[in-house]
Amino acid sequence: MNERIGIKDIAKKAGVSKGTVDRVLHNRGNVSPIAREKVNAAMKELDYVPNVIASALASKKSWKIAVLMPDSKNDPFWNQPKAGILRAKKALRDYKVMIDFYPFRDADPDHFNSCADEILSKEYHALLISASFLKEGQKVLKKCEAKELPYIQINTFLERKSECFLSYIGQDSYASGMLAAKLLNFGVEEGASAMILHLEKGTNNAKHLVDKEKGFINFFSKNKKRKINIVKGSFGDVFDKKELHQYLKEMLEKTPNVQGVFVTTSKLFHIVPILKKLGRTDIKLVGFDLIDNNLKYLYNDKIHFLINQNPKKQGFMGIMNLFNHLVLKKEINALQLLPLDVVMKENVQYYLEDKEEEIHLVF
Amino acid sequence: MNERIGIKDIAKKAGVSKGTVDRVLHNRGNVSPIAREKVNAAMKELDYVPNVIASALASKKSWKIAVLMPDSKNDPFWNQPKAGILRAKKALRDYKVMIDFYPFRDADPDHFNSCADEILSKEYHALLISASFLKEGQKVLKKCEAKELPYIQINTFLERKSECFLSYIGQDSYASGMLAAKLLNFGVEEGASAMILHLEKGTNNAKHLVDKEKGFINFFSKNKKRKINIVKGSFGDVFDKKELHQYLKEMLEKTPNVQGVFVTTSKLFHIVPILKKLGRTDIKLVGFDLIDNNLKYLYNDKIHFLINQNPKKQGFMGIMNLFNHLVLKKEINALQLLPLDVVMKENVQYYLEDKEEEIHLVF
DNA sequence: TCTAATACTGTGCACGCACACAGCCAATTT
DNA sequence: AAATTGGCTGTGTGCGTGCACAGTATTAGA
């Protein structure tokens, strides 16, 4: 049953050799229009689907992919996308896919540039990039386009109009802001206050933070049935604990009845001990990312919700989509927004488990 | 670079032929202990990893899998596991995997039995089963074990001790009860009441409902800081709207200040219009499953949270795990609990999207 | 008309493995 | 001693496709 038909079948049907079928299949040229037409007709009639297994085995081509993302030494967050990339690499080990990492120091645009130049000086088939720097990122992508090097962006999205731009894989920042708002709205009483707090430098230059803020605020302005007072805070240097303590103290004093705080990055854990010192353990907290420091507080009920952005999956899907594009010539979606998982103590295990789960191949 | 080594390499290293290596690899017997040892040593030393591509291409075996689950005509829920199974089938099209469906009428144990008998009378390599009926389910699994037919259970878990029992893939009912409790606890004021409501017949016979209830109640009994009054309700025939209306009215009258209701199945949507008629739209609602009737109310803020159990993924993983076991001879986990996704209006899109996402192959 | 270039087509090997088969040798039986 | 058995081993073909190369038909140029 279920006899799969191969190129020799369509060759026979079309009255040509399998060599000709192969040439039609891969647009290698040197095929007469008549032959091409016969082959196409036969393929359509027999509903030919290439056998990827045999194809992969026979193919001699190898594919080189460069990865340009921040060094995980400086920010452990980047270990997760990296883990996803390595898992993808393992999944593709029987295909000739080579992956080279170019980690750049995350606060060093010059280093970012020099890494990019090194990539561009070599012969890669594609690039997986997470461009932290707005201006430099745009420049690098422009250079890629000049060299016709296709790329996929993860985590940070710089808009480009080009054939080379294949996809952005990451989160929808605006939606994540709304989600945080909805969660706080659920747990905060009518008439009370909720705070959105940026704990980063240069907040206004970071598009994703601006978007999160928009989402958060728009949720409450749309939702007119319940009145919640929204305040916005911003503090750059989380390592200056004394100043941060002072800042939060003043904010909470001048804002009446704050019942919830939304921190727009993974740095929520910094304010937990401070709130404790201020005797405000009643405040409900929402933040991002399942990093150890946050998890600790999630486990003992200090943090109520963490929104998970699937960083590992971002890396994994980045490579898998490039594979899809390069090797299997499939269309890939230009925008791939990953789920915003709502994580609590009771379901966190499912999002952490790193058991040897299935490996995902894209056909 | 990255020269992959194959059986001929280890054959050379071990000083035997590739035939002997193959026999060692697949435990085909007829290998002298000395040869076996040499081959094993060579494999270890060269860190041999089989090329699944070539292996799949060369293998002549075909695999037959039977699927025994409720008919989706009667309950559209089952369309989702089915869709997952079909996707897996597509992903495996180059491997010789055949899948036959045996849908049984969901309230008809006799039909379940006769479907099972038909499967057992044919030659299948494995079975994917969702046994709705406790007693009949156990009997059927026993028969499978007698015929040495390995199986994976999805959605409903019947405990068995047997070599044939490969895995259960589904949700952790107890954890889902706790999750629901946590969500309601977040949105319900101290001193108020929360209700757990079963809308099924024969609740006490359904293990997963009992477990959900345990999880829900234990959350509140563990959490002694905040006092919430818990009440339990149970009503069998949701289609008798008048009686259901009356039942809810009385429950809400005799229970002071009910602020949240947790319905333990996908049938939450049945009580939404009734609560509206009773003028109790303030009550916060938590239930299960992204089915259309529930989604409608999620969109217009009548339902606050839906807990998603990944029914499509259950089907997909069921097949993939059988493939893993049969074809790739990999160990698979006996218990595979899928994430309990917390779904709200703001993130529901990510769990619904049926875009042609990556297809998962297990190596 | 002949040659040479070009356009097109078919053949056959390789990819790494599974598996059938034939061959070998020692032990046992006749 | 010859025949048989059974444990063990190596050889060789085929899976469906990619691709190099050889081969044939067509056309253009002299």
Does B24 map to a domain?
yes
Q: What is the pLDDT of residue B114?
A: 96
Partner residue opposite B53 with nearest CB, options A56, A91, A98: A56
Query: Does position B354 have pLDDT exceeding 60, yes or no?
Result: no
Does A354 map to a domain?
no
Residues B272, B213, single domain; the answer is yes
Residues A160, A266, single domain; the answer is no
Burial of B6 (0-12, 13-18, 19+ CB in 10 A): middle
Does A350 map to a domain?
no
Query: Is the CB of B186 less than 8 angstroms away from the CB of A186?
Result: yes
SS3 state of residue B356: coil
CA nearest A76: which of A358, A234, A361, A295? A295
Does A264 map to a domain?
yes
Q: Which residue of A has its CA nearest to B1?
A: A98
Q: Which of A89, A307, A358, A360 to mutate to test the interface with B (most CBs of B within 10 A)?
A: A358
Q: What is the pLDDT of residue B106?
A: 75
Give the distance, in angstroms, between residue A315 CA and nucleotide D17 C1'.
Answer: 31
| Cβ contacts of A9 within 8 Å, gap of 6 or more | A46, A48
Check which CATH number belongs to the domain holding B155 and give it.
3.40.50.2300
Q: Which of A2, A3, A53 to mutate to test the interface with B (most CBs of B within 10 A)?
A: A53
Query: Is the CB of A347 less than 8 angstroms away from the CB of B179?
Result: yes
Burial of A278 (0-12, 13-18, 19+ CB in 10 A): middle
Q: Which nucleotide is nearest to B4 (CA to C1')?
A: C16
**Alpha carbons A58 and A64: distance in angstroms, whole number:** 18
**Percent above pLDDT 90 for chain A:** 56
Residues A178, A304, single domain; the answer is yes
Residues A230, A266, single domain; the answer is yes
Check which CATH number belongs to the domain holding B27 and give it.
1.10.260.40
Q: Residue written as tokens 């200056």?
A: A240
Give the distance, in angstroms, between residue A120 CA and nucleotide C15 C1'.
Answer: 32
Residues B112, B123, single domain; the answer is yes
Q: Provide the strand spans (E) within A277-348.
A: 284-288, 305-308, 335-337, 341-343
**Alpha carbons A22 and A6: distance in angstroms, whole number:** 11
Does A130 map to a domain?
yes
If one counts every other C-beta atom within 10 angstroms of the C-beta of residue B247, the result is 18
Burial of A61 (0-12, 13-18, 19+ CB in 10 A): exposed
Q: What is the pLDDT of residue A114?
A: 96
pTM: 0.79
- Please give, chain by chain, protein residues whose CB is below 7 Å from any atom of strand D: A 4, 6-8, 18-19, 22, 25-26, 50-51, 54-55, 57-61; B 15-20, 23, 29-36, 54, 57-58
Residues B301, B212, single domain; the answer is yes
Residues B208, B249, single domain; the answer is yes
Does A43 map to a domain?
yes
Residues A141, A242, single domain; the answer is no
If one counts the domains in chain B, the total is: 3
Q: What is the pLDDT of residues B273-288, one digit of tens each?
A: 999 999 999 999 999 9
Give the distance, in angstroms, between residue A36 CA and nucleotide D26 C1'.
Answer: 18
Q: What is the pLDDT of residue B152?
A: 97
Q: What is the pLDDT of residues A159-184, one digit of tens each?
A: 899 999 999 999 888 999 999 999 99
Q: Which of B337, B347, B357, B360 to mutate to test the interface with A (most CBs of A within 10 A)?
A: B347
Kindly list the residues from chain B whose CB atom is less than 8 angstroms away from the CB atom of residue A179: 344, 346-347
Residues A194, A281, single domain; the answer is yes
**Alpha carbons A107 and B225: distance in angstroms, whole number:** 44
Task: Identify the sign of the CA torsion B244, B249, B252, B253.
Answer: negative
Residues B180, B283, single domain; the answer is yes
Tokens of A250: 């003043």
Distance from CA of A283 to the nearest CA of B (A): 12
**Band (A204; pLDDT cuts 50, 70, 90):** low
Q: Which nucleotide is nearest to B57 (CA to C1')?
A: D15
Q: What is the pLDDT of residues B225-262, one digit of tens each?
A: 788 999 999 998 888 999 999 999 999 999 999 999 99
Distance from CA of B122 to the nearest CA of A (A): 16
Q: Which residue of B has its CA nearest to A318?
A: B358
Residues B269, B332, single domain; the answer is no
Residues B250, B295, single domain; the answer is yes
Q: What is the pLDDT of residue A74?
A: 67
Domain hosting residue B151, numbered range: 63-171+311-339
Query: Does position B74 have pLDDT exceeding 80, yes or no?
Result: no
**Percent above pLDDT 70 for chain A:** 94
Q: How many CB pairs under 8 A join A and B?
A: 123
